[in-house]
Amino acid sequence: MRTLLIVAHPRPGALIHAMAQRFARKVEQLGGELELVDLYRDGFDPVVRVDEYDGWRSQEVPEDVAAYQSRLKQAQNLVLAYPVWWATPPAIMQGWLQRVMTHGFAFSFGEKGAQGHLQLKAGLLVNVGSPDDTLAAEYLEPIQGVLKYCGVEDIRTCVNWGIYPGADGGKAKRALRMAEEFAVEFV
Ligand X SMILES: Cc1cc2nc3c(=O)[nH]c(=O)nc-3n(C[C@H](O)[C@H](O)[C@H](O)COP(=O)(O)O)c2cc1C
Catalog residues that contact ligand X under the rule CB under 6 A.
9, 14-16, 83-87, 127-130, 163-165
Residue number with CB closer to ligand X (84 or 150): 84
The C-alpha atoms of residue 12 and residue 1 are separated, in whole angstroms, by 27
Three-class DSSP category at 31: coil
Residues in the chain: 187
Q: Residue 133: CB partners within 8 Å, gap ≥ 6?
A: 159, 161
Given the complex with ligand X, which of 40 and 85 has the nearer CB atom?
A: 85
CB of 102 to ligand X, least distance (A): 27
- C-beta of 28: minimal distance to ligand X in Å? 22
Which CB sits closer to ligand X, 102 or 160? 160
Inter-residue contact 160 to 127 (CB < 8 Å)? yes
Burial classification of residue 174, based on how many CB atoms lie within 10 Å of its CB (0-12 exposed, 13-18 middle, 19 or more buried): middle
CA dihedral over 40, 32, 157, 48, signed as positive or negative: positive
Find the shortest distance in angstroms from Cβ 79 to ligand X.
Answer: 15
Minimum separation from the CB atom of position 126 to ligand X (A): 8
Q: Give the nearer residue to ligand X in terms of CB position, either 19 or 118.
A: 19
What is the closest distance, in whole angstroms, from the C-beta atom of residue 123 to ligand X in the complex? 16
Cβ closest to ligand X, residue 93 vs residue 152: 93
